[in-house]
């Protein structure tokens, strides 16, 4: 099937080069202003249709995409397929073809299985935006993290970023590692050995170090990124108890002391307070978790704009 001339997918950060990543961030930067206006709406995508196709629950990401679409005057439709079509025996490809037949301009897809956006992109005429696929990528999360870091530090190049937690199952970690190393940061990752496979060091060509202990990763860091522990992992015996996890791998004030004095703390949410992050750290001024959420809308506006025809600029 022929794709419209100007459609552009965002399947992952992995496929982008540094200039493209900067282009999206710069465009997002220019969209921030709209979100501070009295009337938070521009007519740019009037008449365009954005389908938020969520096979996995995520109130925040879905709301963020929905607001982004609406602030650009696109018509946004939310579809939760958590169980409906799948249990009816409809194949993934059928679902995609059915939606495509309604001529949306963009399909934002979230799915528990890696690669679903790539599979949809092959059969759909609409632009596909990956809103998180299994353990593969969560591109817009990495972009909003980068925006938060850039806003605070003025740059990304040369920064030291620690990523701590369940790396194995984390799409946030993958997208961030790709993005941060592309933009010249150095990334150190750490977590339980069962969740930080050593082969992970080969994920990117350079700029990534595997650390044996959480402390090694955090020491001297400009940014400490904490990953969410999915409670169901505990049942698969990746670690014995949440209690033990919080003691040995959680971000406490004491561990944060090892980072640079003005280091910032990021978390993709929703947080498990007292498990991967101590409450006092989460509530401290160094935690920019709410900024992340705020920038999420601007990033998603930029992505929707670019995937349906806009072009990347600079401020």
Partner 1 sequence: MKLLISNGHLIDPQAPENTGMSVLIEDGIVKGWLRNGEAPPEGTEVFDASGLLIAPGFIDLHVHLREPGQEHKETIASGCAAAVAGGWTSVCPMPNTTPVNDNAAITRYMIEQAERAGLANVFPIGAITKSSDGSELAEMGEMKAAGAVAVSDDGRPVPNAGMMRRAMQYAKDFDLPVVDHCEDKSLSSGGVMHEGKVSLLLGLKGMPALAEDLDAVRDIILAKETGSHIHIAHVSTAGAIEAVRRAKNEGVNVTCEVTPHHFTLTDKVVEGYDTNTKMAPPLRSEEHLAAIIEGIKDGTIDAIATDHAPHHADEKALEYDRAPFGITGLETAVGLAFNELVHKGVIGLERLVEMCSANPARIFNLQGRGTLKPGSIADITIIDPQRTWTYRGADSRSKSRNSPFEGWQFTGRAVTTIVGGKIVYQA
Partner 2 sequence: MADEATLVEKSRIMDQTRMERALSRLATEIVESNHGAENIYLVGIRRRGVPLAERLRDKIEALEGTKPLYGIIDITLYRDDLSTVGANPIVNRTELSADIEAKSIVLVDDVLYTGRTIRAALDQLMDFGRPRKVQLAVLIDRGKEHRELPIQADFIGKVVPTKQTEIVKVMLKEFDDIEAVGIFERPSE
Closest C-alpha to 76, from 100, 101, 54, 50: 50
Shortest Å distance, C-beta 311 to partner 2? 4
Q: Which of 42, 67, 77, 203 binds partner 1 (CB under 8 A)?
A: 203
Residues 6+ away with beta carbon under 8 Å from 8 = 127, 306, 307
Look-up: residue for tokens 């493209």? Answer: 20
Query: Binding partner of residue 41 among partner 2, partner 1, none, CB under 5 to 8 Å per kind?
Result: partner 2
Stretch that binds partner 2, among 12-20, 29-37, 148-156, 200-208 (CB under 8 A): 29-37
d(CA 244, CA 248): 6
d(CA 230, CA 210): 21
Q: Which of 9, 29, 56, 137 binds partner 1 (CB under 8 A)?
A: 137
Q: Which of 57, 82, 84, 91 binds partner 1 (CB under 8 A)?
A: 91
Closest C-alpha to 108, from 54, 37, 181: 54
Shortest Å distance, C-beta 104 to partner 2? 14
**276-296: string of b/e by CB count within 10 Å (b at 16+)?**
bbbeebbeeebbbbebbbbbb
Stretch that binds partner 2, among 25-33, 115-123, 146-154, 257-265 (CB under 8 A): 25-33
Q: Which of 29, 56, 137, 276 binds partner 2 (CB under 8 A)?
A: 29
- 67 near partner 2, judged by CB under 8 A: no
- 35 near partner 2, judged by CB under 8 A: no
Q: Which of 116, 187, 251, 265 binds partner 1 (CB under 8 A)?
A: 116
d(CA 54, CA 81): 6
Helix segments in 101-192, DSSP class H: 116-123, 139-153, 171-182
d(CA 154, CA 137): 25
d(CA 110, CA 131): 5
Do 28 and 143 form a contact (C-beta atoms < 8 A)? yes
Do 237 and 174 form a contact (C-beta atoms < 8 A)? no
By beta-carbon proximity to partner 1, the closer residue of 69 and 116 is 116
- 30 near partner 2, judged by CB under 8 A: yes
- 207 near partner 1, judged by CB under 8 A: no
By beta-carbon proximity to partner 2, the closer residue of 32 and 178 is 32
Look-up: residue for tokens 């194949």? Answer: 91
Q: Which of 9, 56, 105, 133 binds partner 1 (CB under 8 A)?
A: 133
Give me the half-sphere count of Cα atoms (radius 13 Å) on the Cβ side of residue 8. 18
By beta-carbon proximity to partner 1, the closer residue of 8 and 118 is 118
Query: Could you tell me the two tokens for 89?
Result: 């025996």
- 188 near partner 1, judged by CB under 8 A: no
- 79 near partner 1, judged by CB under 8 A: no
- 80 near partner 2, judged by CB under 8 A: no
Query: Binding partner of residue 136 among partner 1, partner 2, none, CB under 5 to 8 Å per kind?
Result: partner 1
Do 141 and 132 form a contact (C-beta atoms < 8 A)? yes
Shortest Å distance, C-beta 240 to partner 1? 19
Closest C-alpha to 106, from 121, 95, 85, 92: 121
Stretch that binds partner 1, among 24-32, 199-207, 227-235, 283-291 (CB under 8 A): 199-207
Point out which residues bind partner 1 (CB under 8 A). 14, 91-94, 111-116, 118-119, 133-137, 168, 171, 174, 197, 199-200, 202-203
Point out which residues bind partner 2 (CB under 8 A). 5-6, 27, 29-31, 33-34, 37-39, 41-45, 47, 72, 302, 305, 308-315
């Amino acid at each position: 099937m022929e794709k419209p001339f100007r459609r552009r997918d965002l399947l992952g950060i992995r496929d982008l080069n540094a200039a493209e990543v900067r282009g999206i961030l710069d465009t997002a930067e220019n969209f921030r202003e709209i979100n501070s206006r009295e009337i938070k709406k521009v007519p740019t995508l009037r008449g365009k249709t954005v389908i938020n196709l969520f096979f996995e629950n995520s109130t925040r990401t879905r709301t963020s995409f929905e607001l982004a679409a609406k602030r650009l005057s696109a018509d946004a439709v939310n579809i939760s397929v958590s169980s409906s079509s799948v249990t009816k025996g409809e194949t993934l490809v059928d679902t995609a073809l059915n939606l495509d037949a309604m001529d949306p301009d963009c399909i934002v897809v979230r799915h528990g299985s890696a690669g679903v956006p790539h599979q949809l992109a092959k059969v759909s005429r609409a632009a596909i935006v990956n809103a998180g696929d299994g353990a593969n990528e969560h591109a817009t999360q990495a972009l909003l993290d980068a925006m938060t870091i850039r806003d605070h530090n003025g740059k990304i190049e040369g920064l030291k970023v620690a990523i701590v937690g369940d790396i194995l199952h984390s799409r946030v970690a993958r997208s961030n590692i790709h993005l941060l190393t592309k933009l010249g940061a150095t990334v150190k990752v750490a977590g339980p050995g069962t969740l930080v496979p050593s082969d992970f060091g080969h994920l990117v060509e350079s700029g990534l170090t595997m650390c044996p202990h959480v402390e090694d990763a955090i020491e001297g860091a400009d940014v400490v990124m904490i990953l969410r522990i999915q409670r169901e992992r505990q049942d698969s015996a990746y670690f014995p108890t949440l209690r033990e996890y919080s003691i040995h791998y959680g971000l406490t004030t004491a561990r944060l002391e090892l980072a640079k004095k003005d280091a910032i703390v990021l978390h993709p949410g929703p947080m498990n307070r007292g498990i991967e992050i101590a409450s006092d750290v989460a509530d401290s001024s160094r935690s920019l978790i709410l900024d992340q959420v705020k920038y999420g809308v601007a990033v998603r506006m930029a992505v929707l704009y670019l995937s349906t025809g806009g072009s990347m600029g600079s401020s």
